[in-house]
Structure 1
Amino acid sequence: MFRSRSKDEQAAPAPTSPDLTKQQRDPQAPKGRPTPKRSEAQAQRRSVVKAPTDRKAAARRAREERRTALAKQRQALATGDERYLPYRDKGPVRRFARDYIDSRWHIAEYFLPIALFILVLSIVPNAQAKSLSLVLWMGVIVMIVIDSVFTVRRLKKALRERFPNENLKGAGMYGLMRTMQMRRMRLPKAQVNRGEAPRR
């Protein structure tokens, strides 16, 4: 009733799965060929990955693009064009801070000429001149500190009123650092005159 399996059927190997055969075989070696040596495989990869055909032209183009970007940035620093300003100077908050500082007088912006005058006074061979230079030096430092504190407080108050929902982090220090530069040397260049209201 039940037929026994023949010897040939018992001796026949079980069929192997094609997926199993694919896993056991080196994926880089073609079927029926031995696995290539490491040196041969590396040489083949090097031949596939080639260097750019025209490196000099690519470098020249990159230099021209950098030169163009720097030229646009210099022009923006002179005209206040928001599109090409450096990241630290972009945005309405920073623009308002610049205009607020540029529209007022600050003692710190005259620090360099005052310091030069005090230095010249201190080297005069006279005891009274040296004493006067020391007093002037201490007085200038105190006035700069007081003026800076009040300037930053007023600037932050004006920023909170103008931009209640904006991130004002770093705007006060940004304005303070601008007060320490002479007006003609500030970058971006001042866009308002003294006494004018900041731009909207």
Structure 2
Amino acid sequence: MFVKLRRTRPEPEPAVTLTKQTPATAPVRGTAAKGRPTPKRRDADPRRRGPVAPPPTTRREAYKRMKADGSDKRTAVRESARRGEDSALPTRDRGPVRRLVRDIVDTRRSVASLFLPFAVLFLAGYFIPSGNAQNYLVLSWTVFFLLVIADSISLGVRISRTVKARFPDEAKSRGTTFYGIQRSTMIRRWRFPKPAVGPNDRI
């Protein structure tokens, strides 16, 4: 008995239809995948913004430019120091202890702050051709000098007590009291760094 084997015909492949992209669906040139415009190179790198100064052509021009840059940096450092920033202050003015001493001095009205104006008046009094006037000047200078000494002693005691109470480890640091007394002899407007507190403020 013979069995006929039939060949199975291969199924026809589905026809592939090509569709053209319409202008509405075609990607726009220069547009990113998310629908945003591709940023330009100068906008992608913020460091390149602004005009770039041309290089100096002569040694004199390079020196002037270097001098101007140094002057700007010194001005910025000076302003930071006047505001009392530790990073810009000299070594003798840095630290929380010295800041506390400055605040103690700046919150009180010191007799010693009148030392410079009084000294100018005292020197000017020597040109007055009068013996009585000069005697009064000497007497007033002696009284003023005694008041400065008493005020400085009072300020030194207050500085020592306050620093000892708030910074026990720094209570015996050298020069703290003298630093405050020296600052008190300056006119308030000329103090450096400039006062961060007002008179009679609590610290």
TM-score, scaled relative to structure 1: 0.63
SS in 2 for 1:169: coil
Answering whether residue 170 of structure 2 is matched by residue 171 of structure 1, we say: no
What does residue 189 of structure 1 align with? Answer: 194
CA distance 1:189–1:134, change in 2 (3 Å): same
Answering whether residue 100 of structure 2 is matched by residue 96 of structure 1, we say: yes
What does residue 14 of structure 1 align with? Answer: none
**Separation in structure 2 between the aligned mates of residue 65 and residue 91 of structure 1, nearest angstrom:** 29
Q: How far 1:115 moved relative to its partner?
A: 1.6
Instruction: Select the residue among 107, 110, 120 that pairs with 1:116.
Output: 120
Kindly indicate whether the alpha-carbon contact (under 8 Å) linking 1:72 and 1:84 is maintained by their aligned counterparts in 2: no
**Separation in structure 2 between the aligned mates of residue 81 and residue 171 of structure 1, nearest angstrom:** 19
Q: Deviations over 1:103-124 (max 9, x none)?
A: 1011111111112222233321
Unaligned runs of 5+ in 1: 1-54
**Separation in structure 2 between the aligned mates of residue 75 and residue 69 of structure 1, nearest angstrom:** 10
SS in 1 for 2:169: coil
Instruction: Select the residue among 84, 88, 108 that pairs with 2:88.
Output: 84
SS in 2 for 1:104: coil
CA distance 1:83–1:148, change in 2 (3 Å): same
Query: Superposition RMSD on alpha carbons, in Å?
Result: 2.4
What does residue 7 of structure 2 align with? Answer: none
CA distance 1:112–1:173, change in 2 (3 Å): same
**Separation in structure 1 between the aligned mates of residue 177 and residue 69 of structure 2, nearest angstrom:** 34
SS in 2 for 1:165: helix
**Separation in structure 1 between the aligned mates of residue 168 and residue 183 of structure 2, nearest angstrom:** 23
**Separation in structure 2 between the aligned mates of residue 110 and residue 194 of structure 1, nearest angstrom:** 16
Kindly indicate whether the alpha-carbon contact (under 8 Å) linking 1:119 and 1:133 is maintained by their aligned counterparts in 2: no
Task: Describe how 1:8-47 pairs up with structure 2 within 5 A.
Answer: none
Q: How far 1:79 moved relative to its partner?
A: 1.4
Pair member with larger Rg: 2
**Separation in structure 1 between the aligned mates of residue 132 and residue 183 of structure 2, nearest angstrom:** 35
Q: How far 1:80 moved relative to its partner?
A: 1.5
Amino acid at match of 2:152: S
Give the length in aligned residue pairs. Answer: 144
CA distance 1:132–1:94, change in 2 (3 Å): same
Q: Deviations over 1:155-194 (max 9, x none)?
A: 1111100111236322111111101111000000011000
Amino acid at match of 1:74: R
More helix by share: 1
What does residue 185 of structure 2 align with? Answer: 180
Task: Describe how 1:139-158 pairs up with structure 2 within 5 A.
Answer: 139-158=143-162
What does residue 110 of structure 2 align with? Answer: 106
